[in-house]
Every structure is written in C-alpha cells, then in structure tokens.
C-alpha cells in the first residue's frame, strides 16, 4: 500500500499526528539453505519490497497493533505480555517488544500499523521483515542507540524465544544489513560479512512463487534443527566441533561412518556440502562466471530435495520446469522449503518465455497459479520519515 494511503488508514485507526514511518525489505537467498543455524555460510539479498510500519507513542501502557494484510488486531497491556497469541502475525512485533523489555529498556505504549507487500508464507522473510522494522522503530523512538548487529540479534531472539521458531540469523541479518544491488556473503557464526556486487551481466534474478503456503512453526523446520544436532553429536566423536560447519566436505566423507542413521547422515551431508557450494558461488559471481553460479544453484536444490527433504511436489515441479528452459542458468528453492518460492537466474531475453512456459506447465501439473517477480535488490531497514 502506498505510504500516503497507509497514513490515512493509520489516522482512521488511531487519530492524526505525531507518527513516524519505517521500512524493512524482504529477502531472497541465492544459495546457502539450512546452513545458518549450523554456523555456516549464506548468500542472501535484500529485496526492494517489504514491510512499512507507521508508529506513534500513545501515552499509555498498551501496545496496539493492526495491519492492512490481515483482519486480526491486538490491544495488549505491557503487563499482560506473557506469551504469544496463538499463531497470529502480532507475535513477531510483540516478540521484539518482549526483547526490549528483557534487555532492561523502559517500554511505553505504541500504536502500530504494518503493511507488507511480501507474499505471506512464500519464503521471502515476511516475519523477519516485521521483526526488524519493529526493532529499528523502537530503537529510534526509545532512543536506545543500539548498533545494527544488536538490532538484528533482537529480531532473531524474538523469533526463537517468543514465536518458538529455531531459525538462524540469516533473514534478520540480510534485512538489517543488505545493500542495493548486492548480495550479502555471511558467516552465520562469526557474523563476518562481505557485500558482493550482483553484476550478473545480461541476466536477472526471477522469483517464482509456487503459492503453496508453508507455515514454518508447523513444519518440520524444528525437526531438521534437531536432526542436525544429533549429527553434530555423532561427528564430535571424531573431532572437536562447535557446529556442523566446522568440518569440510572431505573430512565429513572420511568420518560419516560415525553417524549410524542414514537419515541423519544425509542431513549433515547437505549442510556441509552446501557450505562448499556457497563459497564456490561467491567466487563464481566475483569472476563473472554466471554459468557456474547456476550449476551450484541446481546442485543445491538437488541436495535439499534428496538429502534434506524440504522441497515437495510444488517446489520440485517449478524448479524442474525452470531448469529445462533455454536461458535459465540455474534454479533452486529458496527459504526453509515445504512450499514458498524458487529463485532463478534467467537471461533477460528469455524472461517472458520463462514466465509463460513455467507458469502454464506448473498450473497443469499442480493446479496452482504461480506468480513471478523480476527481483530488484534493495537497501536495509531504516526510517523513512
């Protein structure tokens, strides 16, 4: 929704004047899936669309929340902030409020109106976008003067502790630190990062939304986190390790016998091989080798399908179709999986055919209508006015 219309809606709900406007992008992950909570490497980009928040102190002890995306609203006294409200969207900003309180900051009441143009449940980090825009706004209005890394950590802690999703830090980091026309090469354990110019010549990033909605908190995401923990415990019998990313693929292949369960072994193999693919993909981008980037993306999807088992009919169908189109150099699922989106590197001259061919055949095979977006890479979260 346009900011002017959103302001009108805010004033209808809460009255005129005294508000501030903040925004945060969504994110797309080029490669590096399910590595972040294993201390590994990722390569996400901030998108040019995301979440807008209009917010104002309300001289009370109540947090009032509304959005243009859903009917559900909340009006909660700070003293009643004891846990999440079912599976409602308000848990994401409330989790951030909870984190500020836990850090000892004096909280006050606020009126908040959110509006997002990230497709919900599509794997483009609508939840992290809400968390980070809330954290940036509260930092500004409460004058807490937090550095951006701390704001990012607040977003992740809100999702881990309040919402109950054991996510890594990639989504919040990309949204909090992304740069226009760049990808973010991030070590999720050390938080060392590098902005990589996304100069991919006569190619574009095209997002394909399967419109198969996935609910992370109700998915097998937390199960995968647990399985990686089991794999880590097994591998520690042969080498001291903090997380799965402490072992190279070559070392893993020599020590995989330490993991007796085949399923657990495959989970570890995905994480460790995916780390290597991310590093190879970064080198390919820097060298302008787009074909190799596409190859690593294709390999990533296959690993997510076979070893990590987080793809499913819709994602596999849309990726398999994409990979057959001339002019597509690489395609893979992006996000946690179980539905959501694929990310595709497509020659600019093939984009129209890609959308028509993949869209029509996907509809025929799944009964669902896919949506397509030619991605524009944007900046991180901040204050608009």
Output the CA torsion sign for 134, 48, 281, 211.
Answer: positive
What is residue 58's predicted lDDT score, i.e. its pLDDT? 96
pLDDT tens for residues 308-358? 999 999 999 999 999 999 999 999 999 888 889 999 999 999 999 999 999
Low-confidence ranges of the chain (pLDDT < 70): 121-123, 214-219
Q: What domains lie within the chain, and their CATH numbers? A: 3-196 (3.30.230.10)
What is residue 247's predicted lDDT score, i.e. its pLDDT? 97
Q: What is the DSSP string of 7-63?
A: HHHHHHHH-SS--EEEEEEEEEEEE--S-GGGT-EEEEEEEEEEEEEEEEE-SSSEE
Torsion of CA 225, 228, 233, 236, to 10 degrees: -130
Alpha carbons 144 and 26: distance in angstroms, whole number? 25
Largest Cα–Cα distance in the chain? 66
* Strand, helix or coil for residue 157: helix
Output the CA torsion sign for 71, 76, 78, 79.
Answer: negative
Query: Which pTM was predicted?
Result: 0.93
Residues tagged active-site: 171
What is residue 216's predicted lDDT score, i.e. its pLDDT? 53
In the chain, % of residues over pLDDT 90: 89
Closest CA relative to residue 32, chosen from 242, 279, 199: 279
What is residue 384's predicted lDDT score, i.e. its pLDDT? 95
pLDDT tens for residues 144-181? 999 999 999 999 999 999 998 888 899 999 999 999 99
């Amino acid at each position: 929704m346009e900011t002017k219309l959103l302001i009108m809606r805010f004033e209808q709900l809460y009255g005129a004047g005294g508000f501030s406007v903040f925004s945060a992008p969504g994110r797309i992950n080029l490669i590096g899936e399910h590595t972040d909570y294993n201390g590994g490497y990722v390569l996400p980009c901030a998108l040019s669309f995301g979440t807008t928040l209009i917010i104002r102190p309300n001289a009370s002890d109540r947090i009032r929340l509304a959005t243009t995306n859903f009917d559900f609203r909340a009006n909660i006294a700070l003293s009643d902030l004891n846990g999440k409200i079912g599976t409602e969207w308000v848990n994401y900003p409330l989790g951030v409020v909870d984190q500020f309180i836990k850090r000892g900051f004096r909280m006050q009441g606020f009126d908040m109106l959110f509006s997002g143009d990230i497709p919900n449940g599509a794997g483009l980090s609508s939840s992290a976008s809400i968390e980070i825009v809330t954290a940036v706004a509260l930092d500004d209005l409460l004058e807490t003067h937090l550095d951006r890394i701390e704001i990012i950590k607040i977003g992740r802690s809100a999702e881990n502790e309040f919402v109950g999703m054991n996510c890594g830090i990639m989504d919040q980091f990309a949204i909090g630190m992304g740069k226009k026309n760049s990808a973010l090469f991030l070590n999720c354990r050390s938080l060392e990062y590098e902005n990589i110019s996304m100069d991919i010549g006569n190619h574009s990033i095209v997002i394909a939304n399967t419109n198969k909605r996935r609910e992370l908190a109700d998915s097998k995401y937390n199960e995968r986190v647990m399985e990686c923990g089991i794999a880590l415990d097994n591998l520690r019998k042969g080498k001291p390790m903090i997380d799965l990313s402490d072992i190279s693929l070559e070392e893993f292949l020599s020590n995989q016998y330490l993991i007796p369960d085949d399923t657990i072994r495959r989970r570890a193999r995905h994480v460790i091989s995916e780390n290597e693919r991310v590093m190879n993909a970064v080198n390919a981008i820097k060298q302008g080798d787009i074909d190799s980037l596409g190859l690593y993306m294709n390999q990533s999807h296959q690993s997510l399908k076979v070893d990590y088992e987080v793809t499913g009919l819709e994602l596999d169908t849309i990726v398999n179709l994409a990979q057959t189109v001339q002019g597509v150099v690489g395609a893979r699922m992006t996000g946690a999986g179980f539905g959501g989106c694929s990310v595709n590197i497509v020659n600019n001259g093939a984009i129209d055919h890609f959308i028509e061919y993949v869209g029509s055949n996907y509809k025929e095979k799944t009964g669902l209508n896919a949506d397509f977006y030619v991605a524009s890479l944007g900046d991180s979260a901040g204050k608009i006015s």
